[in-house]
Amino acid sequence: MRYVSCAAFEVKDGNADLVIHGTTLGSGATRLLAGVFKYNHLVKKLNLSGLGIEADAASVLAIAVTHNTTLTSIDLSNNPLSDVSVYTGATQHETTGLYALAEAVKVNKSRLAPS
């Protein structure tokens, strides 16, 4: 994939870092983005901090991380996905996707470092 553009984000040829600011990614946009970086061989660093990514997006992100061979860093901080209380509070979310994402990072740890 050489070039992708849509309202929420843009990946241009030659860009190694993808940083998205000033928007909240809903479930559909998160799935679309995961599909983009699943097969993208340009992006090495992906910053998705503070975009409102929910716990249910973990499984699609896990699939993307597993298939992407060039991603070296992913930042999911400040998202409901990375908030422990989402999994331990009164309304607990399913953790299967989160475990899948952790496993994908672990399997790819030789190239994917925490940011």
Helix/strand/coil (H/E/C) assignment for every residue in the chain: CCCEECCCCEECCCCCEEECCCCCCCHHHHHHHHHHHHHCCCCCEEECCCCCCCHHHHHHHHHHHHHCCCCCEEECCCCHHHCCHHHHCCCCCCCHHHHHHHHHHHHCCCCCEEC
Q: Tell me if the pTM is above 0.75.
A: no
- Domains held by the chain: number: 1
Mean pLDDT calculated for residue range 97-103: 83
pLDDT at 93: 66
* Segment 66-80 mean pLDDT: 87
Residue 79: pLDDT above 80? yes
46-55 pLDDT, tens digit each: 888 998 888 8
The CATH number that applies at residue 108 is: 3.80.10.10
- Looking at residues 51-80, what average pLDDT do you find? 87
Residue 102 CB partners (closer than 8 Å, separation 6+): none
- Residue 77's domain spans which residues? 4-114
Q: How far apart are the C-alpha atoms of 40 and 46, rounded to whole Å?
A: 11
In this predicted structure, the answer to whether residue 92 has a pLDDT above a threshold of 80 is no
Relative to beta strand 4-5, strand 10-11 is antiparallel
